[in-house]
Amino acid sequence: MSYLRIVLICVFLSVSANAQRFIQIPVFELKSTEFVDSWELFTGIQDKEVVLDCTSFLNGLNFYQLKNDGKKELVEGIFLYHHECRELGDRIYQLTSRDQPLCLKSYPEGPDFQISKDWKSCQAGLSHGK
């Protein structure tokens, strides 16, 4: 019986720890890339690039770290189904095309995104809260 309790406590703690982790970024503009159904989110963050990629085999919101040599490294990705990806792009486009910056929040497990017009409270950067 004590073994079962330990397992249940461990499962509960691991689920609770993951539930607290989130990503939030300010978004000022949605820019087209050279690929159809792929957009760069202009965040104002110097060394980061955020791409909403709805054209690749694995659709998703991808976070890249820009290196000094001009290359970029994928540091986080949120998998999305194609329809989820397009819906997110449409929602972001509708708000940013009206010159309304926004704050995009999500858990890395995705695909539940929260879009807030309160971008000033959105921390500048890829924020991982605990």
- Judged by average pLDDT, the poorest of 1-5, 20-24, 71-75 is 1-5
Report DSSP letters for 25-66, one per residue.
Answer: EEE-EEEE-SSTTEEEEE---TTEEEEEESSSSS-EEEEEEE
Which 3 state secondary structure label does DSSP give 67? coil
pTM over 0.95: no
Q: What does pLDDT average to over the chain? A: 77
Amino acid making up residue 15: V
Whether pLDDT at 77 is above 70: yes
Q: pLDDT for 98-119, tens place per residue?
A: 777 888 888 766 567 888 887 7
DSSP code, position 9: H
Please report which confidence band the pLDDT of residue 127 belongs to, taking 50, 70 and 90 as the band edges. very low
**Do 127 and 23 meet the contact criterion of CB atoms below 8 Å apart?**
yes
- Average pLDDT (35-52) is 88
Could you state, in order of their start, the residue ranges of all structural domains in the chain?
Answer: 28-121
